[in-house]
Structure 1
Amino acid sequence: MAHSHSHSHHDHVHLHGDQKGKRLFITIFLNILITVAQVVGGIISGSLSLISDALHNFSDVLSLLVSYFANLLSKKKASPGKTYGYKRAEILAAFINSASLMIISLVLIKEAIERFLHPAEVAADLVIWLSLLGIIFNGGSVLLLKRDAAANMNLKSAYLHLITDMLASVAVLVGGILMKWYQLYWVDPLLTLIIAVYLIYMGYNLLISSTRVLMLFTPDAVHVKDIVDHLNSIEGVNNVHHVHIWQLNEDDIHMEAHIDFQRDIRLSEFDSILQKIEAVALEKFGITHLNIQPEYGKCDDKRIIAEH
Structure 2
Amino acid sequence: MIVAENLGKKFRNKTVIRQMNCSIKEGSIYGLVGANGAGKSTFLRMLAGVYQPSEGKAEINGEAVFDNAKIKKEIVFIPDELYFFPNYNFRMMADYYASLYEHFDHHRFQMLCDHFKLDTRARIQNFSKGMKRQGALILALSTRAHYFFFDETFDGLDPVMRSLVKSVLSEDVAQRNSTVLLTSHNLRELEDLCDHMGLLVEGRIMFESDIDSLKTEMFKVQIALPNKNFDRDEFRQLKVLYYKKSGSIATMIVKGDRELVTDVLRSKQPIILDLLPLSLEEVFIYEMEGYGYEFDSLRL
Range of TM-score over shorter length: under 0.3
Q: Which entry has the higher C-alpha Rg, 1 or 2?
A: 1
TM-score by length of 1: 0.25
Q: Which structure shows the higher strand fraction?
A: 2
TM-score by length of 2: 0.26
Q: Which structure shows the higher helix fraction?
A: 1
